[in-house]
Chain A
């Protein structure tokens, strides 16, 4: 059991133990940590909630022996989450002789900065793209930059700068330097970590068994992984989180594997990794994930974390319900599988008991006669929480008769909820416009949504109905038809 964390900053190993003298705690954000150092003021706080990207930094990690880079919002990362990683900041980009990194030079050449306050964060997002050898399209760049707000430039020159820098032949760091970094990262122990201060205890187990035992013995411990939700309780609500169980160090909790009936996705898989998996295979999920948060948030947030928060809007949940996904809950007592529909127990409540952890999601294959679609209505396309979202599934027989249908909605009730009456109405009926228009009316009576800052009840009802019509319009030609 280690009582300190180690990470790489400015090419050196740094050890942090949250000793009182250090002024650091297990919930100190990486943003605040960096800004407390004299030489790392380049990182900026724009919102302290992951919505602006001014604090973007890049984490270097060993994946299969190679260095991979991901841009993240440093305001959402707690210091101990850096353990075993390389922390790369804007100050690290130019080479020792003062030569700028190609993305920096391109930003100057295209007038990509005006007031300059968002610029370090933007440059870091560009750097991650560059170093990961992504050759992005223009629309790919727009998506990659969607987590970085800029109020001055209108983004056009920044997109151009990224095109220019990533379009040229890449010049990477010297092999020697990379090897040294890899060696240093490999030298960091992956043992379990406990950090204690007078008022806080932070536990980062290395194995699932340790995690389950801790969960059993400390049911009140706050469970986190990517921290994108939990961090707001620190940065916005200034809470003290006395006991934290961080699953991000648990071996085997990340990635996916093929199973007989579909795909098993480990609960610690990040949303960005999950998006990669879903591309091509689960288009409805890929579509929803593509507008989930921003790259910086998807690089932190995990599948399990998203399910555990049980948001009434849901993000993944409506689509997982439509996919008839199964959620694996594990405890020291054993494990059980719960359907996505049954997993949602109430307002921000799930079916998991106090000693259980979400360890896996199973996504069944979608049969040929079945169509699954997802929709998200939000004020802004990217980095916005849905006003109404939905995951729809329809199984047709004889080409156009509804055998089975799932209409799962987020943002229409205190939890993600299926339009039960509309589903019942549709079963056995022809999948045509008159039926759908009648079903739309039933959707209207299935829910009594509230008015809030994201939209009025009237808007939500119109949207929920319209989405069914949109689903029909999109699927009618796909074996449905009038």
Chain B
């Protein structure tokens, strides 16, 4: 039962799974194209669209002036025009839309658009934004204890700076949307969006229509990773505008390069730290400053920064801690949600601190980590005041240190490094403690619509979207278990805003927790009705025994009286009868996460329903002459509570880890001095291949630790394992550090590309040579 394959697996492997671009030909379909700014910051001086509009086959060329509704698609703050109006703020910003019979006609029209720009000064880095005080929103602070005092009295202090890079989502299916006009003003939007309700809202907004005229439907998404949480809205809005203007169905599918140029990425961070600790390596005080590059608009930048602040403790208790943050506005595409949502950036900072403390005190970093883990009885309250309940850190640490044979390998690596001048090994263990819930509390809600047909089959609708994470598979399993029927009786519809309204995005790893609970809620209502009806049937047939509704159970495709198991009815037969008896066989369900809430202004409270834990040990071999890295082995032990589907959860764990691996190693985003993205295709932007994953890759789920607070007693798994990849990043640093026998702190940043490694090693080798020469003189 638990080992149910992905509900679409058969369709995936046969090529029959339908994505938006694969939908059967629609009559009179037009191709849509987005024309974007080549300037990072400029005033639009003049525009002439006449020639473009005259191209045969071209049905519409639209600019901001042609938007019937609001020229706005910012999801939270309304600072994001749908089409540039008077000024462009980044290379890749949409300026015009074209609809034509063919792709070629679109390109021809694009060529004939006359536009002149008056370039303005562009801000292209966090430092430049700081210099211009180009801040979005206000500075925020979370604080506990008296940091300055504790820093002053701490026996040891360290300070420094860390840069973490952006990351392109690289969903395999680029952004796509298909709009089909309905009767009168109706609009049916097929979109690859993680956020159908918001897509609906923004499409209605740009069209100037009420939401009840817009339906958004999502069958499946070819990968999202946060990149389609807000920015799929854009493509849907553009498509809808062309559809409205032409009265014909329109599809826009972004070419890979355009997608990479136009859409936002994981926020790059520039972080600074000052920490105090004792001689054992125990953290006494931490003062962090987090700066993120938001790009040209707000998007979700504040929420991302908030999560970074909430995760800058990583898994460690810091008695005195202040985290200050600022979100900077630059002339780059607006950065957005990306698996981990600020968590990775916050945790990379704290893990760097721990790594440095260990190097400074000449201790094993794994020991320093263990020393600082949140306690179970005391030292268990975070810097924002939430108690770390059901703490699994110590349990996981003990298990993984043993299963990964950490101590022995540490010694072997030291020996290896002493014997090899040009090949160095490194080892690191890093933990994950990831808070589950949207920190924007109201989003922690979900709806469902469950339908039972009189042939006994069940159709589920819920607000979550299937993007590969196996949400529909898990929900199907949960529903089948609740109804006591086999999974093949249960089917899911595409996510559709006309079935389940006002849903949150499928994000923050909450998909199964929220939607599963909403589905369960609906099924409970249906079971109650059916139980009432069935017990009535039993009692009518034989009144000598009375069946109590409360004794009715649903299992193995039967509905039966648990006190009188011979009183039973086949599920199919029961629902057929219920229809005849005029019992409603459809119900809505709803769920909101209980017991959470927090004061954003004060930065105190309980933002998370629970924490997901995990740990990884990674070993690398670094060729210090070429900067190439062999990832020799990774051991992961991850906590998903009682897994609903271990196959899917292991898959999520591996996948998230490898996406994190890309972020910390080869995924290097570069812009030129004019704000053009240089790494705009997989030719230059390198995500991991099958040959980059650990040679020896051992992934286990923590057993026998149910999560008491969640449907199915499971835990969210989408994001947390991504941060396990920090073990690889720090293992590489460990290898580099061995070049100088761990004497000096290597220069280091994230990602650790071969260039970062070569330059860092070069400095250490030069330092050693200088020291060696120097010692000869004296």
Q: Which residue numbers of A lie inside 8 Å of B, CB to CB?
A: 38, 41-44, 46-49, 51-52, 54, 89-91, 93-94, 100, 104-105, 107-120, 123, 139, 141-143, 145-159, 236, 238, 375, 377-385, 387, 453-456, 458-459, 462-463, 466-467, 469-470, 473
CB within 8 Å for A152 and B468 given contacts A90-B14, A111-B6: yes
**A151 B225 Cβ-Cβ under 8 A:** yes
**A115 B753 Cβ-Cβ under 8 A:** no
Residues of chain B contacted by A105 (CB below 8 angstroms): 13
Residues of chain B contacted by A473 (CB below 8 angstroms): 421-422, 625
**B173 A44 Cβ-Cβ under 8 A:** yes
CB within 8 Å for A151 and B693 given contacts A41-B15, A108-B13: no
A43, A116, A158: the one within 8 Å of B17 (CB): A116
At the interface with chain A, which of B350-358, B508-516, B587-595, B682-690?
B682-690
Q: How many A-B residue pairs have CB under 8 A?
A: 242
B406 at the interface (CB under 8 A from A): no
**New A-B contacts (12) at CB < 8 Å, excluding given A117-B19, A154-B654:** A108-B9, A114-B469, A115-B467, A116-B12, A117-B222, A119-B12, A150-B690, A151-B659, A154-B693, A155-B689, A377-B754, A462-B759
Taking CB as reference atom, which chain A residue is nearest B656? A154
Mark out the residues of chain B between 1 and 42 whose CB falls within 8 Å of any chain A CB in the assembled complex. 5-6, 8-19, 21-22, 24-25
Residues of chain B contacted by A385 (CB below 8 angstroms): 683
B755 at the interface (CB under 8 A from A): yes
**B14 A100 Cβ-Cβ under 8 A:** yes
**B758 A142 Cβ-Cβ under 8 A:** no
Quick one: CB contact mask for B204-225 with A, threshold 8 Å, 1 for yes?
A: 0000000000000000111111
Main secondary structure of the interface of A (DSSP, over half): loop
**How far is B657's CA from A381's CA once the two chains are assembled, in angstroms?**
19
**A157 B651 Cβ-Cβ under 8 A:** yes
**A115 B690 Cβ-Cβ under 8 A:** no
CB within 8 Å for A90 and B684 given contacts A48-B255, A158-B690, A375-B626: no
**How far is B680's CA from A48's CA once the two chains are assembled, in angstroms?**
13
7 tightest CB-CB pairs across the interface, nearest first? A42-B15, A115-B468, A117-B222, A116-B12, A154-B654, A90-B15, A114-B468
B25, B225, B651: the one within 8 Å of A111 (CB): B651
Ordered by A's residue number, 12 sampled pairs between the chains whose C-beta atoms are within 8 Å are: A41-B15, A89-B15, A107-B13, A108-B9, A142-B693, A145-B689, A148-B690, A151-B223, A152-B651, A154-B655, A378-B754, A381-B628
Residues of chain A contacted by B223 (CB below 8 angstroms): 115, 117, 151-152
**B686 A142 Cβ-Cβ under 8 A:** no
**B171 A151 Cβ-Cβ under 8 A:** yes
CB within 8 Å for A93 and B682 given contacts A117-B173, A466-B626: no
**B626 A51 Cβ-Cβ under 8 A:** no
Residues of chain B contacted by A46 (CB below 8 angstroms): 172-174, 256, 682
**B682 A42 Cβ-Cβ under 8 A:** no
B484 at the interface (CB under 8 A from A): no
**How far is B623's CA from A344's CA once the two chains are assembled, in angstroms?**
31
Residues of chain A contacted by B668 (CB below 8 angstroms): 379
Q: How far does the Cβ of B487 sit from chain A's closest Cβ, in whole Å? A: 14
**A149 B687 Cβ-Cβ under 8 A:** yes
**How far is B12's CA from A107's CA once the two chains are assembled, in angstroms?**
9
Q: How far does the Cβ of A52 sit from chain B's closest Cβ, in whole Å? A: 6
Taking CB as reference atom, which chain A residue is nearest B626? A377
B691 at the interface (CB under 8 A from A): yes
B79 at the interface (CB under 8 A from A): no
Residues of chain A contacted by B758 (CB below 8 angstroms): 459, 462-463, 466
Residues of chain B contacted by A462 (CB below 8 angstroms): 758-759, 762
**A453 B670 Cβ-Cβ under 8 A:** yes
B547 at the interface (CB under 8 A from A): no
B658 at the interface (CB under 8 A from A): yes
B8, B628, B651, B687: the one within 8 Å of A116 (CB): B8
Residues of chain B contacted by A123 (CB below 8 angstroms): 13, 15
Q: How far does the Cβ of B667 sit from chain A's closest Cβ, in whole Å? A: 9
**A114 B651 Cβ-Cβ under 8 A:** yes
Q: How far does the Cβ of A337 sit from chain B's closest Cβ, in whole Å? A: 34
A38, A104, A141, A463: the one within 8 Å of B690 (CB): A141
B486 at the interface (CB under 8 A from A): no
Q: How far does the Cβ of A275 sit from chain B's closest Cβ, in whole Å? A: 15
A48, A108, A238, A466: the one within 8 Å of B5 (CB): A108
**B5 A109 Cβ-Cβ under 8 A:** yes
Residues of chain A contacted by B381 (CB below 8 angstroms): none
Quick one: CB contact mask for B422-464 with A, threshold 8 Å, 1 for yes?
A: 1000000000000000000000000000000000000000000
Q: How far does the Cβ of A118 sit from chain B's closest Cβ, in whole Å? A: 5
**How far is B658's CA from A377's CA once the two chains are assembled, in angstroms?**
22
CB within 8 Å for A119 and B692 given contacts A47-B682, A154-B654, A381-B628: no
**A115 B172 Cβ-Cβ under 8 A:** yes
CB within 8 Å for A41 and B655 given contacts A51-B681, A459-B758: no
Taking CB as reference atom, which chain A residue is nearest B678? A453
Residues of chain B contacted by A44 (CB below 8 angstroms): 19, 172-173, 222
Q: How far does the Cβ of B299 sit from chain A's closest Cβ, in whole Å? A: 21
**How far is B9's CA from A104's CA once the two chains are assembled, in angstroms?**
9
**How far is B658's CA from A89's CA once the two chains are assembled, in angstroms?**
29
CB within 8 Å for A111 and B8 given contacts A380-B689, A462-B762: no
Residues of chain A contacted by B656 (CB below 8 angstroms): 154
Taking CB as reference atom, which chain A residue is nearest B682? A51
Residues of chain A contacted by B653 (CB below 8 angstroms): 154
Q: How far does the Cβ of B31 sit from chain A's closest Cβ, in whole Å? A: 13
Residues of chain B contacted by A47 (CB below 8 angstroms): 256, 681-682
Taking CB as reference atom, which chain B residue is nearest A110? B647
**A49 B655 Cβ-Cβ under 8 A:** no
Q: How far does the Cβ of A466 sit from chain B's closest Cβ, in whole Å? A: 4
**B654 A153 Cβ-Cβ under 8 A:** yes
Residues of chain A contacted by B6 (CB below 8 angstroms): 108, 111, 113-114, 116
Residues of chain B contacted by A112 (CB below 8 angstroms): 9, 13
Q: How far does the Cβ of A27 sit from chain B's closest Cβ, in whole Å? A: 13
**B14 A93 Cβ-Cβ under 8 A:** yes
CB within 8 Å for A159 and B173 given contacts A113-B6, A379-B668, A453-B679: no
Q: How far does the Cβ of A307 sit from chain B's closest Cβ, in whole Å? A: 21
B107 at the interface (CB under 8 A from A): yes
**B690 A100 Cβ-Cβ under 8 A:** no
**How far is B256's CA from A114's CA once the two chains are assembled, in angstroms?**
20
B44 at the interface (CB under 8 A from A): no
**B683 A51 Cβ-Cβ under 8 A:** yes
**How far is B651's CA from A54's CA once the two chains are assembled, in angstroms?**
20
Q: How far does the Cβ of A122 sit from chain B's closest Cβ, in whole Å? A: 9
Residues of chain A contacted by B13 (CB below 8 angstroms): 100, 104-105, 107-108, 112-113, 119-120, 123
Q: How far does the Cβ of B223 sit from chain A's closest Cβ, in whole Å? A: 4
Taking CB as reference atom, which chain B residue is nearest A141? B690
**A116 B171 Cβ-Cβ under 8 A:** no
Mark out the residues of chain B between 324 and 338 whose CB falls within 8 Å of any chain A CB in the assembled complex. none
Q: How far does the Cβ of A242 sit from chain B's closest Cβ, in whole Å? A: 16
A147, A453, A463: the one within 8 Å of B626 (CB): A463
Taking CB as reference atom, which chain A residue is nearest B672? A453
Residues of chain B contacted by A459 (CB below 8 angstroms): 754-755, 758-759
Q: How far does the Cβ of A429 sit from chain B's closest Cβ, in whole Å? A: 21
CB within 8 Å for A116 and B11 given contacts A51-B682, A379-B686: yes
B49 at the interface (CB under 8 A from A): no
**How far is B388's CA from A292's CA once the two chains are assembled, in angstroms?**
50
**B627 A377 Cβ-Cβ under 8 A:** yes
**How far is B224's CA from A280's CA once the two chains are assembled, in angstroms?**
44
A113, A146, A377: the one within 8 Å of B628 (CB): A377
Most buried by A among B224, B623, B626, B690: B690
**How far is B656's CA from A154's CA once the two chains are assembled, in angstroms?**
7
**B172 A456 Cβ-Cβ under 8 A:** no
Residues of chain B contacted by A43 (CB below 8 angstroms): 15
Residues of chain B contacted by A54 (CB below 8 angstroms): 172
Most buried by B among A44, A94, A141, A147: A44
Q: How far does the Cβ of A481 sit from chain B's closest Cβ, in whole Å? A: 16
Residues of chain A contacted by B658 (CB below 8 angstroms): 153-155
**B682 A149 Cβ-Cβ under 8 A:** yes
